[in-house]
Amino acid sequence: MKSGSVKMILAVLAAALILPSLALAGSNPPPPTGFKIKPNLQAVTQTSVGVMWETYNLATATVKISVNSNMTGAVTQSIAASGKRQRITLGGLAPNTVYYYQVVSDGETSPKGSFVTALPKGSRLPFRFGVYGDSRQATWYEDIVAKYGDNDDHLPVCISMNSYAPDFLIHVGDLVQDGNNTDQIYNFFSVEKELLASNPLIATYGNHEFSGGADTGNTKMDEFLIPLSGPNFAYYSIVYGNIKLIVLNTGAGVWNTDNYDVIKTGSTQWNWLKGEITAGANDPDIDHIFLSMHVPPYSCANFGDNPTLITAITQVVEITSKVKAVFMGHEHDYQRLQHDGVDYILSGGAGSPVLDLPWKGGADDTSAVFIKYDDCLNYVLVDVAGSTVHCEARKVQGNGNSSSSILESYNL
């Protein structure tokens, strides 16, 4: 063979090897498929649980649920492709029963999750729930005043809390920096995907859920959360065993001088709250009543006491001694205060900038009785067993470290 022919053959072979690589490098990547938001649990009751997820593409879905961890005997439910984001309620379940579930949609099978349905009303069997809040992220704020300069503190709190297997979670508000920013909402569910896969979420609206509004409807969070009972998605009540939990909406207010029209004495929500507490006080199946609200009536730190909320809340919690605690957020720290036999427990350390400002919490900063203050990442575990309510506040190290230690342990 002539040398020129050999060179031509080699050139053709080289081109054959190079051209596919060039074509591959210049082509667009395939569009994403599967879950944009992994299946997560919400709105648990004695006989049902809410499941929310979102796929990248419009697709049908199959939900499998079983009482067996290996998914044998699973009941399968087909879900029509009505939208990329699905919010469904799985009903017909038995109370106080562990279930396992998986969702298949858009070419992906979700990791297996589990949950326990709520105890029957009036049951005195033991259960546990977690309280946390202010998981929003705000890099610009951290760079100025945060104790931790890292924007990854949200995940360590979730990992730590998940290790203690609560039966459900109460988030006291400020899930995200801006409730009308869908990218931030997607980030919230991405960070919490493992926690919420097996721990149903009960959400409280904070001021950052709104953009200048003072009530539900002015936030995109409504599109991602599953409503529970109540006249308004932003405030409602549930019964779980021998407790009644009342979730309130303090609106878009921020400062301790704000008026808080949505909850002030005589407002629609305040009248509803008074009725809910009165009903719980007269119900023999209810031993303990808890409130969840974002902005604290009492605070020993940065924002301080709020006169409007103090007037509104103290008037109704004093109706009955069954009101054991008010769970709160807004301040990025941990606080416990007492007033007229009620514990005011603030857990605002789920990932927001932990404030390290010149002033610290102290007994002179509030009209309530000062018990404990710490500017740290934190959450609270609440164990209810009949007439006993035990709380354990845990301090999370953060900066990528999910190790935690006991901050405070006490009975209500």
Which pLDDT belongs to residue 142? 52
SS3 assignment, position 391 = strand
CATH of 35-116, picked from 3.40.605.10, 3.30.390.50, 1.10.540.10, 2.60.40.10, is: 2.60.40.10
CA distance 29 to 26: 9
What's the Cα-to-Cα distance from 176 to each of 46, 135, 188, 203, 282, rounded to whole Å? 29, 6, 7, 12, 37
R_g of the chain, CA atoms, integer Å: 25
Q: State residue 280 phi and psi, 5-degree precision.
A: -65, -35
Both tokens of residue 219? 């936030």
CA distance 184 to 162: 22
Buried b (16+ CB within 10 A) or exposed e, 215-225: bbebbbbeebb
Both tokens of residue 227? 């409503």
Name which of 358, 366, 362, 304 is nearest 331 in CA terms: 304
CA distance 131 to 329: 10
Tell me the residue ranges of DSSP E strands in 67-175: 75-79, 85-90, 98-105, 108-109, 113-116, 127-132, 168-171
356 or 79, greater pLDDT: 79
Q: Are 379 and 347 in contact (CB under 8 A)?
A: yes
Residue 122: pLDDT band with limits 50, 70, 90: very high
pLDDT over threshold 70, residue 19? no
CA distance 118 to 7: 78
Task: Find the mean pLDDT for residues 104-131.
Answer: 97
Which pLDDT belongs to residue 227? 79
Task: Find the mean pLDDT for residues 234-256.
Answer: 91
pLDDT over threshold 80, residue 7? no
Which pLDDT belongs to residue 236? 92
412 or 365, greater pLDDT: 412
Which pLDDT belongs to residue 21? 46
Range from 145-154, 175-184, 257-266, 268-277 carrying the lowest mean pLDDT: 145-154
Which pLDDT belongs to residue 177? 84
Give tens-digit pLDDT for 332-360.
899 999 999 999 999 999 988 776 554 56
Residue 147: pLDDT band with limits 50, 70, 90: low
Share of the chain above pLDDT 90, in %: 67
Write out the DSSP string of 231-275.
SBTTBEEEEETTEEEEE---TT--STT---TTTSTTSHHHHHHHH
Q: Are 328 and 294 in contact (CB under 8 A)?
A: yes
Which pLDDT belongs to residue 240? 97
CA distance 355 to 353: 6
pTM over 0.95: no
CA torsion through residues 89, 278, 171, 234, sign? positive
Quote the mean pLDDT of the chain: 87
Task: Find the mean pLDDT for residues 140-149.
Answer: 50
Give the CATH H-level superfamily of domain 127-411. Metallo-dependent phosphatases (3.60.21.10)
Which pLDDT belongs to residue 363? 60
Give tens-digit pLDDT for 190-230.
999 999 999 999 999 999 888 644 445 578 888 899 877 76
Write out the DSSP string of 326-382.
EEE-SSSSEEEEEETTEEEEEE--SSSPPB--S----GGG-SSEEEEEE-SEEEEEE
CA distance 105 to 62: 7
pLDDT over threshold 60, residue 13? no
CA distance 250 to 173: 10
Which pLDDT belongs to residue 219? 86
Kindly list the domain boundaries of the chain, sorted by start residue. 35-116, 127-411
In sequence order, which residues have a C-beta less than 8 Å from that of residue 282 and are 6 or more positions away? none
CA distance 42 to 200: 4
Both tokens of residue 214? 């003072």
Task: Find the mean pLDDT for residues 51-58.
Answer: 96
Which pLDDT belongs to residue 362? 63
Which pLDDT belongs to residue 365? 76
Give tens-digit pLDDT for 285-344.
999 999 999 999 999 888 889 999 999 999 999 899 999 999 999 998 999 999 999 999
Q: Which amino acid is at 370?
A: F
Which pLDDT belongs to residue 251? 85
Task: Find the mean pLDDT for residues 381-398.
Answer: 96
pLDDT over threshold 70, residue 169? yes
